[in-house]
Amino acid sequence: MDGPANLTFPPAVLVRIEANVQWMWRKGTGGNYVAVCDPLKITLQAPSYSELMEDIAESLDALLKDLMESDELEQFMQDHGWSMVAPVSARPQDMRFDVPFSIMPVAAGTNGSQRILYQ
């Protein structure tokens, strides 16, 4: 066979979540973009704003997959007032969670949620 193997993967099942996840962001002193989600206790940094947005979506997806695999997803969803738009029938590795989020900039010279975001 001369060419690459013809591998096909089933498309991921999109699992929509009803939630409102709040993030705060700012450009750090080193030039990276930093985002903090206080309710989930997650801090991320990326070299660009667009990569930061991708990283937020990926981190929320990874968090929910981990919770599903450890059988803690249902309790987590109840604790945060979140719900799934439809029941899940796929394995975590075959799913992609779609969690809506909002992101607000931290004004220069302020510390947002009582702290400065450092890199």
Q: Is the pLDDT of residue 109 over 60?
A: no
pLDDT tens across 41-68, in order? Answer: 999 999 999 999 999 999 999 999 999 9
Backbone angles phi, psi at 76, to 5 degrees: -60, -45
Domains belonging to the chain, first-starting first, are: 13-105 (3.30.160.250)
Rounded Cα distance, 16 and 3, in Å = 37
pLDDT-based confidence at residue 103 (cuts at 50, 70, 90): very high
Highest mean pLDDT among 2-6, 9-13, 29-33, 43-47: 43-47
The residues pairing with 70 across neighbouring beta strands, listed in sequence order, are none
pLDDT for the residue numbered 114: 41
Mean pLDDT rounded to a whole number for the chain: 85
> In angstroms, rounded to a whole number, what is the distance separating the alpha carbons of residues 32 and 41?
19
pLDDT at 82 over 80: yes
